[in-house]
């Protein structure tokens, strides 16, 4: 079996690639395709590059001839490559539509034309919109609110259309907020950790009452792996961490663990169209595929803080990195 991982130099993708290198000896080849935009980092794959099965290709998923040539020699695609920061999507929605919608279509068409066995499309819980109470099952309609989530919802629909129209084995995962090592320091947890380490304020939208469901990146990757191995064609699988907290509660945890006070908080104008709460129902993947998260949030957050404290040379250059 030969694997293609798009966006494999990014945060979640690189964790997935390392997991395949260290824990799965059945792969003949593991190909990573990444454009190395601001959030892609070859240093994330430093531990993989000596493995003879590993192949890195610097390229864009919008490059049709390149994508065609890669698809002709792989059996499974796990598609992470995406623009994923909501604030950036508000400032530049065109880039999100181009990468997340058109890029996904280029991959799907090439996979179909080359009879790729399985295509796993990694999506987000944000496609569901915002929910006041309860949790979304996979059968709930999508109702995105930001350009980012709308572009991901569009790519989900495209992916599912390839199953329904062409009979292609497409599987979709939707996950909550990830945290862990190697996350680009624009996202809330690494942003707060690195700002506090640098003696800077940490920005909080509004009153911090927005609620998110947190999952360690390794638990997310374990769920994706299960879907790739045991999932069914044409199915969607929610992957949740089961740890719902407000942004204020998260902030207070980080401050406490790093020995800082609330004086470090700087309240900023709330994000446009800010979704209040995300919550996915993970019953399906738990009961049908045997999924269970392994990381406790408190210990996972502590180990994440320790990683950033011990790897300042990794994140320091990224704090000022531009597009």
Give the residue numbers marked as catalytic: 125-126, 148
The span from the CA of 323 to the CA of 31, in Å, is 25
For residues 184 and 218, the answer to whether their CB atoms sit within 8 Å is: no
Identify the residue whose tokens are 């694997």. 3
Convert 142-197 into a string of H (helix), E (strand) and C (coil).
CCCCCHHHHHHHHHHHHHHHHHHHHCCCEEEEEECEEECCCCCCCCHHHHHHHHHH
For residues 227 and 292, the answer to whether their CB atoms sit within 8 Å is: no
Q: What dihedral do alpha carbons 128, 95, 323, 85 form, nearest 10°?
A: -10
Backbone angles phi, psi at 184, to 5 degrees: -60, 135
First vs last Cα of the chain: how many Å apart? 35
The span from the CA of 4 to the CA of 32, in Å, is 6
């Amino acid at each position: 079996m030969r694997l293609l991982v798009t966006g494999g130099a990014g945060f979640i993708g690189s964790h997935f690639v390392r997991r395949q290198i260290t824990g799965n000896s059945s792969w003949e080849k593991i190909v990573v395709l990444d454009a190395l935009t601001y959030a892609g980092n070859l240093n994330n794959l430093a531990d993989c590059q000596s493995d003879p099965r590993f192949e890195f290709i610097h390229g864009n998923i919008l490059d049709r001839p390149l994508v065609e040539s890669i698809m002709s020699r792989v059996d499974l695609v796990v598609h992470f490559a995406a623009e994923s920061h909501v604030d950036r999507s508000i400032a530049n929605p065109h880039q999100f539509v181009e990468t997340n919608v058109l890029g996904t279509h280029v991959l799907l068409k090439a996979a179909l034309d080359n009879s790729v066995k399985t295509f796993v499309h990694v999506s987000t819980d944000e496609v569901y919109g915002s929910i006041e109470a309860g949790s979304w099952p996979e059968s709930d309609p999508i109702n995105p609110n930001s350009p980012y989530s709308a572009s991901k919802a569009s790519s989900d629909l495209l992916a599912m259309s390839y199953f329904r129209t062409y009979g292609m084995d497409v599987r979709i995962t939707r996950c909550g907020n990830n945290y862990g090592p190697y996350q680009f320091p624009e996202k809330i947890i690494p942003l707060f950790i690195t700002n506090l380490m640098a003696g800077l304020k940490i920005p909080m939208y509004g009153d911090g009452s927005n609620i998110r469901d947190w999952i360690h990146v390794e638990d997310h990757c374990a769920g994706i792996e299960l879907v790739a191995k045991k999932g069914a064609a044409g199915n969607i699988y929610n992957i949740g961490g089961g740890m719902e907290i407000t942004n204020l509660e998260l902030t207070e945890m980080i401050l406490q663990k790093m020995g800082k006070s609330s004086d470090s908080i700087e309240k900023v104008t709330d994000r446009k169209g800010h979704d209040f709460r995300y919550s996915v129902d993970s019953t399906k993947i738990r009961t049908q595929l045997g999924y269970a998260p392994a990381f406790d949030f408190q210990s996972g957050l502590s180990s994440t803080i320790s990683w950033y404290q011990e790897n300042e040379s990794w994140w320091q250059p990224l704090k000022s990195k531009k597009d």
